[in-house]
Amino acid sequence: MSSPMRITTIRSEGISALSYFVSSEQQGIVIDPRRDASIYNELALREDVEILYIFETHRNEDYVIGSLELQSMVPNAEIGHSDATNFHYGELSLADGETFKVGKMHITCLNTPGHTNDSMCYIISDREDASEPIVAFTGDTLFVNEVGRTDFVDMSKHALMSQKLYDSLHGKILQLGDGVIIHPGHGAGSVCGGAIGDREFSTIGFERSNNVWLKMSEDDFIESKIKQELTLAPYFKHCELLNTKGPPVLSAGVAPQELDLASFETLLSNPNHVVLDTRSPTEFLNRQIPRTISMSLTNMGLIAGWILKPSQSISLILRNREYLGEAWSYLVRLGFDNVVGFLENGITSWIESGRATTSIKTISIDDLKIQLDNRTLLVVDVRESHEYKLEHIKDSISLPLTRLVDTAPSLKFDRTIATLCPSGFRSTTAASILSRNDITNILAPSEGFKGWTARGLPTEE
């Protein structure tokens, strides 16, 4: 009995990366696997599918690819990526137009430079003659409601990469046909696009009609791309390097260990060690271990790369040890492998031992407005520069969280400050970083910038 073509989407929370397990006739491929890659092997075993190829759409910048990790579990699978980059791993350097047959699927590799020079889309037909493609895995070339960013390669080549992306979209992707389903490399919330839609798939026809970038002239497209400001996080270059050389296989490392109080305290005193408190912002603000950084599980996948450095070792404070796997996955997806361990029984053991704790006071939006009017308080806006430029509170200062770790040691404030972000997650992390640098006159608004605007309070551009 023949088996139909099946597509399973695997989402990596935080970074909003989308990867795919695609099969036909008990043969399959994986596209852009995440680094905690056992899920693909489990799918293959459950569905009795042999994974033949692991295809990458490009050298990713915002997460570490899991191709080698998956290959360690499925040794016969071959890794393929574009021949436009000199990757130090993988069996297949794919040329534009190269084809593969997997089950009843005919796969065509389509080089679509623009986001990167090695951007590759995988176009699939299930016809014997490979005509009439049915689906396209578009990586970071085309998203739902968006297109790839063009500022990663080299800012001096921003216009050139934008032109290349325009040519790839109009000369290749849109030529596939309006009925072709697209599966992009990221969903809503990713830093790889400005306004990626909530849906995780679309069609070329729908995007042609509704995606504003596809309606622009070439000149307008290039100009708009150059003006587009998006998050540039410090860890991007780290991921780019690992994804060129090939990241280490995680199974060869040491699993995070449960740490007793003495071991944990020793690590806490190490200047090149960071303790991440994964509890909620509310719990952290109410009571925390000194010199720890707030990094709630809700937001860890997005902002860990904004504040951590590859050279640092990491330990965790968990509300419950059952969350260890989730926290570990968020970190290794971003290339932060040196997770030493977690404090046994969490902050409870620290408190019960009689060791000191601290807290950071909160402030309501109404009281924030009063203190600002009285000029007794300074708002430190930790959103990204492009968010701040769009709209901010008058007389606030912009200190993006992506740069705060490097700037915090030299900061001095002559009055109380209130850290501000959209909803409180980033601002709590920022407050903890400032506190770690011995700045004590900090308040954290109980609501963020969204709470301010919801009340109709004044802002400026």
Q: Do 258 and 321 belong to one domain?
A: yes
pLDDT of residue 129 exceeding 80: no
Q: Do 204 and 336 belong to one domain?
A: no
Please write down the long-range contacts of 243-246, taking CB distance under 8 Å and 24 or more positions apart.
243/59, 243/60, 243/61, 243/64, 243/65, 244/59, 244/85, 244/86, 244/87, 244/88, 245/88, 245/89, 246/68, 246/87, 246/88, 246/89, 246/90
Res. 155 pLDDT band, cuts 50 70 90? confident
Is 245 contained in some domain?
Answer: no
Q: Do 126 and 235 belong to one domain?
A: yes
**Single-letter amino acid code for the residue at 35:** R
Cα 137 to Cα 18, 184, 207, distances in angstroms: 10, 6, 14
By residue range, what is the domain housing residue 163? Answer: 6-239
Q: Do 191 and 67 belong to one domain?
A: yes
Cα 320 to Cα 282, 328, 329, 347, distances in angstroms: 16, 14, 16, 10
The rounded mean pLDDT for the chain is: 95
Q: Do 136 and 176 belong to one domain?
A: yes
The count of structural domains within the chain is 3
For residues 381 and 396, the answer to whether their CB atoms sit within 8 Å is yes
Question: pLDDT tens digits, residue range 398-407?
Answer: 999 999 999 9
| Its pTM surpasses 0.75 | yes
Give me the pLDDT at residue 115, please: 96
Sign of the dihedral defined by the CA atoms of residues 397, 402, 408, 410, in that order? negative
pLDDT of residue 130 exceeding 70: no
The one-character DSSP state at 216 is S
Give me the pLDDT at residue 2, please: 61
Q: Do 84 and 217 belong to one domain?
A: yes
Give me the pLDDT at residue 153, please: 75
pLDDT of residue 1 exceeding 70: no
* Domain boundary residue, one of 211, 239, 267: 239
Q: Do 384 and 424 belong to one domain?
A: yes
For residues 94 and 83, the answer to whether their CB atoms sit within 8 Å is yes
pLDDT of residue 131 exceeding 80: no
Alpha carbon distance 305, 335 (integer Å): 9
For residues 341 and 315, the answer to whether their CB atoms sit within 8 Å is yes
Question: pLDDT tens digits, residue range 13-59?
Answer: 889 999 999 999 999 999 999 999 999 999 999 999 999 999 999 99
CB crowding 208-236: b at 16 or more within 10 Å, else e: eeebebbebeeeebbeebeebeebbbbbb
Res. 193 pLDDT band, cuts 50 70 90? confident
Q: Do 76 and 105 belong to one domain?
A: yes
What percent of the chain clears pLDDT 70, i.e. is strictly above it?
99
Q: Do 59 and 183 belong to one domain?
A: yes
Q: Which of 123-132, 136-145, 312-321, 424-433 has the lowest mean pLDDT?
A: 123-132
Res. 72 pLDDT band, cuts 50 70 90? very high
Is 249 contained in some domain?
Answer: no
For residues 71 and 77, the answer to whether their CB atoms sit within 8 Å is yes
Alpha carbon distance 299, 138 (integer Å): 26
pLDDT of residue 293 exceeding 90: yes
Question: pLDDT tens digits, residue range 308-344?
Answer: 999 999 999 999 999 999 999 999 999 999 999 999 9
Q: Do 235 and 173 belong to one domain?
A: yes
Strands 27-31 and 50-55: parallel
Alpha carbon distance 168, 162 (integer Å): 10
Res. 234 pLDDT band, cuts 50 70 90? confident
* Domain boundary residue, one of 239, 264, 280: 239
Q: Do 401 and 340 belong to one domain?
A: no
Q: Where are the beta strands (DSSP E) in 227-302?
A: 257-259, 273-277, 293-294
In terms of Cα–Cα distance, which of 277, 272, 264 is closest to 341? 264
Helix 297-307 / helix 324-333 crossing angle, nearest 10 deg: 30
Both tokens of 458, joined, read: 């004044």
CATH number for the domain harbouring residue 190: 3.60.15.10
The SS3 of residue 342 is strand
* Domain boundary residue, one of 321, 352, 383: 352
Average pLDDT on 251-275 reads 93
pLDDT of residue 71 exceeding 60: yes
- H or E element: which one contains 153? none
Alpha carbon distance 16, 356 (integer Å): 38
Is 1 contained in some domain?
Answer: no
Give me the pLDDT at residue 315, please: 98
pLDDT of residue 299 exceeding 80: yes
CATH number for the domain harbouring residue 317: 3.40.250.10
307 CB contacts (<8 Å, ≥6 apart)?
A: 293, 295, 401, 402, 404, 405, 429, 433
Is 284 contained in some domain?
Answer: yes
pLDDT of residue 270 exceeding 70: yes
